[in-house]
Structure 1
Amino acid sequence: MAGEDGTGREPVGFEVATGTGALPAGSARERAAAVRVAFEGLLQVRRLMNTGAAAPEGVPAAWERRRPVRAVALALEAAGIPPSATDPEGRRIATGYRVRAADRAGVVRVEWLGPPGSGAAYAAHDALQGCVAALRRLGWEALEYRGPRGRRYLEVEPAGPPPG
């Protein structure tokens, strides 16, 4: 996201895979290592920020609550769940999660998408339940809904108020 740091420039370093746009660059091994480092950093932020929590790693920190799309996407990828992706023309080329902001502030929507004919819609319930399990372990509440044409999706938000 350009300008997230207020400079108007693209951020340098790790970028989460939200399932929108191209697959992350680099080899699978390089990406796995980058995700592992980013996720360990997120857990360290939780330990430092959630000092009033009984289990500080199990509660989303204030940073995550301000950037829930990034935090949820990182949690899903760190759990080994693949992101979806599109080609430069916007055609879906990979089956997996897509995380985007929901209609309410602080809430994200997780969908299971794939290329036409991939069967992603049929696999959505089971795949999204895997997302629910991964997110709940990290202190996120995820509820499944059906949208237009019966398409399944999750609405995800932090479970409870931040410790303090």
Structure 2
Amino acid sequence: MTRPPTAAQRRVLDAADPVTGRLWGTETQLAALVKRGLAFRHPRPPHDHFLTPAGHRLREEASTPEEPAQAPAVRDSGVFAARIGGEEDAEPGPARAREVHSAWQGLLELRRMTGAGGATDRPCGWERAHLVQAAALALEAAGHPPDGPAGPGYRVRATPQPEAVAVRDPDPERLRACAATLEGAGWQVSAHTEPRTEARYVLASPRRA
């Protein structure tokens, strides 16, 4: 069983930025948190340290010990999963908002590191290989509500077309807002109507140029 953080390490966790998860501490403290999987060292200068989703959860649990722990917003494997709509446990909350923010910032950094000239205006290779997750992350990071227990919202699904996902939302205005968000995030979008049901939906593909 993993040992709990020391008192000094706990103070570093508690002092982390509540939104970005940025950490301040000695090199020894930060290295120990990285080893425990509670923090990571940014690959680009100045190589700051930030909380991982596990670190955010531990910090959140420590700050509200009298409340039941919130359902983790990551899969059991520890890998962040954007909400594509239809999840039974898709309840919003501050912990989830921080994880989404960190994941989106990490994706932008991946674009910067792999894109020509450090550009962040077009999807990267990871996004092209994970279309549904990438589109859903862009929507969730922009504040669009996914379809779930909290109410109706967007759903992102794969399509038979290569490099294209379908985005649906029963509300026409929300659907148009989703399309605008994806377009601003570097996706090509087009509006369509189901022939039989006349339901509106959007097709989105990562822009290449």
Q: Which amino acid is 1:12 matched to?
A: G
User: Distance in 2 between the 1:84 and 1:145 partners?
Assistant: 20
1:129 Cα shift? 0.9
Deviations 1:3-61 (A, max 9, x none): xxxxxx95313211000222336x511111010000000000000010246xx111000
Runs of 4+ in 1 over 2 A off after TM superposition: none
User: Distance in 2 between the 1:111 and 1:23 partners?
Assistant: 19
Gaps of 5+ in 1: 1-8, 87-92, 113-119
Q: Which amino acid is 1:31 matched to?
A: R
TM-score by length of 1: 0.75
Gaps of 5+ in 2: 1-74
- Aligned-pair identity (%): 34
Say whether 1:126 aligns with 2:126: no
Count of aligned residue pairs for this structure pair: 134
Corresponding residue for 2:207? Answer: 159
Q: Which amino acid is 2:200 matched to?
A: R
Please say if residues 90 and 146 of structure 2, whose CA atoms lie closer than 8 Å, have aligned partners that are also in contact: no
What is the CA RMSD across the aligned residues, in angstroms? 1.9
Structure 1 or 2: more strand by fraction: 1
Question: 5, 10, 20: which one pairs with 2:86?
Answer: 20
Please say if residues 17 and 23 of structure 1, whose CA atoms lie closer than 8 Å, have aligned partners that are also in contact: no
Please say if residues 102 and 108 of structure 1, whose CA atoms lie closer than 8 Å, have aligned partners that are also in contact: yes
1:103 Cα shift? 1.4
TM-score by length of 2: 0.60
Which has the larger Rg? 2
Question: 104, 107, 119: which one pairs with 2:161?
Answer: 104
